[in-house]
Amino acid sequence: MTISSSSAGHFRWQRVRSLLISPSAIVLAVLIGSALLAPVLTPYDPITPFPGSRLQSPSAAHWFGTDPLGMDVFTRVLYATRIDLSVAVASVVLGILVGAPLGALAGYTRGWMDGVLMRLTEIMQAFPQILFAMTVFAAVGSSVQNLVLVLGFFNVPVYLRMVRSSALPLRESEFVLAARCSGHSTLSLVIKHILPNTLVPIFSQFSLSIAYAIQMIAGLSFIGLGVQVPEAEWGSMINLGAGYVIFGKWWPAFFPGMAAFVASYALNGFGRRLKGFWVA
């Protein structure tokens, strides 16, 4: 029994449609859309303090209330989405750009290079990440660029080991053997034949890595090592408002905390669905 091309195309479209209309995908679309449209959705400046409006409760004028500096929390949550998502995506992409080619090279060549890279990744993953970040920021200072580099460093061993595991069986596959016999160099084989066939696990892990990066960004900013006040970032906003929760002023910490939770939860859910999409 054969399946027509139109039926196969309809089945693929149904799977893509199911992925795109999943709750996690819709939540992510809303977060990204609200971040992009932040200047339209709110009239307030995200980094200008207004001392006369300190700690106002949620109202029609300030949907999420105001923080201890008098800044509108709703505005800052929207602009913080920009920073958190952009830094997280940039750090994960950096980890992929460095880790994936090295993993493909290690999996294809094996030998001493594979051994050295595997030992280095074990050392990198064994080192406490918060302690490493504290050391780096103490030496070179805290900035968005340094935050991207530190988080990208954490992502390198993840994608190196993932791509290596996918490259190991590929090195003996027929199309790679044929390319090798036709005179392709090692670098050409890795770039043209090995790496393109490791994209599925990379795509499946991508959103999961972004979710973890967001948690790291918020955690580092909460302890003063990431994005600094008055820049809008979820972790620094939680830190700014945490001391007022015991006085009943819950909104400065609650809303950015919920934003970080929802973003991480949606990214994890989308990552699981995407992994199932590629496997099915």
Query: Could you tell me the pTM of the whole model?
Result: 0.87
- pLDDT tens sequence across 182-220: 777 777 777 877 888 888 888 888 888 999 999 999 988
- Give the pLDDT confidence of 103-159 residue by residue, as tens digits: 888 888 887 888 888 888 888 888 888 888 888 888 887 788 889 999 999 999 999
Q: What domains can be seen in the chain, in order of their start residue?
A: 63-279 (1.10.3720.10)
C-alpha neighbours within 13 Å on the C-beta side of residue 88? 27
Report pLDDT for 88: 94
